[in-house]
Structure 1
């Protein structure tokens, strides 16, 4: 009997990758409530292709000039001096990858990739047809914070769809009454405890940014889905989360609380007159702020010091054979600003410059806290005066 069954299975036609795509696409449409406008192209690919795709993702988050981004990350201690960022990311990206989505194509590195992982990849393709990624990127600020938030929306959407497949759920159905809470508990435990083991062999920045999309993005998307169904998730593509604060605190996104912009043009103008210019600029956001604290303050919960984030601009200046960093942050309350100032002071003491006539200082006015790192001491008075002339949301002076 067993031999007869085996013979039937061996003679049964194998499902082609196109047939698998079509079957999974039908299930995804039921879960997501959207229809594919056209079939995704499907083909076999290589790990090298996946690694090259990860390099493009790296440029999207950190900027096209990866050499300058690498210099910035090393200056802050995010990555070790010996690390080559593109090599480290592309080398790890190809390991264990089974499939990926890119530009209308579902690419299988392993044709035995499970259905749930293919559905995860295909969700990117489905949403790309309705809300093109290229358009979303044009609307997002070219900063670490904004690009990580956008990536979390897309990855979180895919992760929720994958879980709905696991539980055989359809559009609008709950997984369970406590599933969202279990997601939150799991993410918090990973961030506080389990991820520390991985951070022993990989920079904290790469560990936390690597899991942020599907973990915290999944929580963000499920929060929206439970509140307003997939219609509300679709609206999030029309008005994407602008910061990692929105991802970490969906209630702030739903309330329309926009991040504060900080324009350091007065500071840049002052420093140009002294022979220094900005060579790298970004916004770290609540995620980046937390990761910087976790990188230097080992086994410390970054939550109290990074929650309450309202906005930031961080710039690397170079000139006259030296470099320094100015990080201007804004917080929801003076208490939040003071808590961050205390944490930044601790890091500042750990990273005291070894060169003569260089120093660090953390200054605060009301809800504004700024960290000046590795700057030449003769610049201090003019530097601070120019800093406080910076503009907040294009109007009020920074620190007022």
Structure 2
């Protein structure tokens, strides 16, 4: 299922969500190239040419891509109006991307409350799966050991998703934050229409990622292409768009975890820049070829020049746990480790600055400065995920460990091994991570090198942080005495 997220717009006193991949429209430079596949004239017209004898790019179901529509979106769209907007949207996606729709795509519009009721489900997850997810997000200092990662992710989804395409039944659902009556955001519709033709052309539902890192890497092309099409769509057809009244917005609310949301937004921000860089080098044909060789890491989309040659390393964590600790078994076919990649490590180091800035109502820097996340010059690149402390990521493996009583006590551990391109990259990350520990109240344990303890709070635990050449290894356990039981030295 391809989901369109609301944009993460953070300010000192206000958190809102809007449209990802839809920066402020900018006009084409005089004489500049129209970066679309067909070069069709986008000038709106109320007198379009006759329907073609056979289907062609830029025309769908009786509507041309630049045809004006007699619809009033302020009172919602009736069935015939929605059908017209959808048909024209399909024609516009074709005109931009040069991919032909082979069949119609059913579209429904629902309100946020209906979508939230569909999304907020914490069922069908085993104890091992819950523990695995909880350990992951405790390791990033996003959630405490008594908080549910699965519930929080569901809450984020319920608040941030603006629309989605379901390949199983080839249908689109748009989530409206306006109304009644429910209003349509045509740019949101455009991306979901693109995901429909993307699936029929490239079968992107087969491009699965089994860790946060691999998932975001694959979304670098999937959502990157979709958001790039959005960007071109809004620029090209800005004079004739069906949009909600007012400023619009996502469904962001107080239940949204901005750290977890920032992690999910990485491919929506860096992906369009990655796609544009490929298109500039080799055209849309080059972008199409990426689906046969999708990005393997978020590093490759944060730094497009590193695609495809700079491949992630295969990192191994040897099991050196004692008899009381084991890796949770998530079932047949499931992996037993996690990865966050360069994008995830960046958010981990930036997130405390967001927390402090929000709580103090003034910009406050902790590890990665608060404003660094928003320091981008490219209108496509909404957020910045590149920082010296995380640049040079080469591979990782985070292995959760639990005891028989972990489900009841929430006491868990992990071994997190992160490889870097150089010794200096590893040292820089280690120093930044130790700043993160210091922020959370960690103190060095007397008589033990590289060992820290957080005595109280939701992250109260013991940590051992070591570096061997270009590799940093973090071991976590409930107490200092249990560090060796999780991973013996």
Same fold (TM over 0.5): yes
Higher deviation after alignment, 99-108 or 124-133: 99-108
1:270-295, CA deviations, whole angstroms, 9 ceiling, x for partnerless residues? 31x53311236201100111122223
Query: How far did residue 261 of structure 1 move?
Result: 1.4
Measured in 1, the distance between the counterparts of 2:71 and 2:421 equals 63
Asked if 1:373 corresponds to 2:476, the answer is yes
In the superposition, relative to structure 1, how do residues 126 and 251 fare at CA in structure 2: closer, same or farther (>3 Å)? same
Provide Cα deviations, 1:316-370, integer angstroms capped at 9, x if missing partner: 2122655222110000111101111112223344342439xx7322111111111
Which residue of 143, 155, 168 corresponds with 1:79?
143
**Shift of residue 92 of structure 1?**
4.7
Asked if 1:144 corresponds to 2:212, the answer is yes
**Cα distance change on mapping 1:251 and 1:379 into 2, 3 Å:** same
The 3-state SS of whatever aligns with 1:35 is: coil
**Does 1:163 pair with 2:220?**
no
Instruction: Quote the residue 1:277 is aligned against.
Output: 326
2:413 is equivalent to residue 324 of structure 1: yes
Q: 1:89 to 1:317 in 2, by over 3 A?
A: closer
Structure 2 portions without partners, runs of 5+: 1-69, 73-77, 177-181, 238-251, 329-335, 357-364, 370-386, 406-410, 443-452
Instruction: Work out the CA distance in 2 between the residues paired with 1:208 and 1:343.
Output: 19
Q: 1:99 to 1:360 in 2, by over 3 A?
A: closer
Partner of residue 267, structure 2: 213
> 2:412 matched to 1:309?
no
Query: Cα gap change, 1:277/1:90 in structure 2, threshold over 3 Å: closer, same or farther?
Result: closer
Pairwise mapping of residues 346-385 of structure 1 onto structure 2 (< 5 A)? 346-349=435-438, 350-351=441-442, 352-354=453-455, 359-374=462-477, 377=480
The DSSP-based 3-state class of the residue aligned with 2:307 is helix
Q: CA deviation at 1:238?
A: 1.2
Contact between 1:243 and 1:259, CA under 8 Å: does it hold in 2?
Answer: yes
1:312: Cα distance to partner?
A: 0.6
Residues 71-220 of structure 1 mapped to structure 2, 5 A cutoff: 71-74=135-138, 76-80=140-144, 83-95=147-159, 99-103=163-167, 104-110=170-176, 112-137=183-208, 140=209, 142-168=210-236, 203-220=257-274
The TM-score with structure 2 as length reference comes to 0.60
Cα distance, 1:105 vs structure 2: 0.6
Separation (CA, whole Å) in 1 of partners of 2:412 and 2:392: 30
Query: Structure 1-normalised TM-score?
Result: 0.72
Q: Does structure 1 conserve the Cα–Cα contact (< 8 Å) formed by 2:313 and 2:395?
A: yes
Query: 307, 312, 322: which is aligned to 1:253?
Result: 307
RMSD of equivalent CA atoms: 3.6
CA contact (8 A) 2:337 2:398 kept: yes
Counterpart contact for 1:204–1:291, Cα < 8 Å: no
| Greater per-residue helix proportion | 1
For the structure 1 residues 348 and 44, does the alpha-carbon distance in structure 2 shift closer, same or farther, using more than 3 Å as the test? closer
Equivalent-residue separation in structure 1 for 2:100 and 2:128 (angstroms): 34
Q: Deviations over 1:41-81 (max 9, x none)?
A: 2234453564477679xx99xx9934541344235421246
Q: Who is 2:244 aligned against?
A: none
The offset of 1:16, in angstroms, is 3.0
1:287 corresponding residue in structure 2:
343
- The alignment partner of 2:100 has SS state of coil
Q: What is the CA–CA distance in structure 2 between the aligned matches of 1:152 and 1:120, rounded to whole Å?
A: 15
Q: Which residue of 2 aligns with 1:194?
A: none
Q: Structure 1 residues 373, 109: CA separation in 2 closer, same or farther (over 3 Å shift)? A: closer
Aligned equivalents of 1:246, 1:374: Cα separation in 2: 33
1:242 maps to 2:296: yes
Q: CA deviation at 1:38?
A: 2.1
Q: Is the 8 A contact 1:47 1:109 kept in 2?
A: yes
Unaligned runs of 5+ in 1: 1-7, 170-197, 387-400
The whole-number CA distance in structure 1 between the counterparts of 2:338 and 2:403 is 19
The alpha-carbon distance between structure 1 residues 97 and 52, as it changes in their structure 2 partners (threshold 3 A), is same
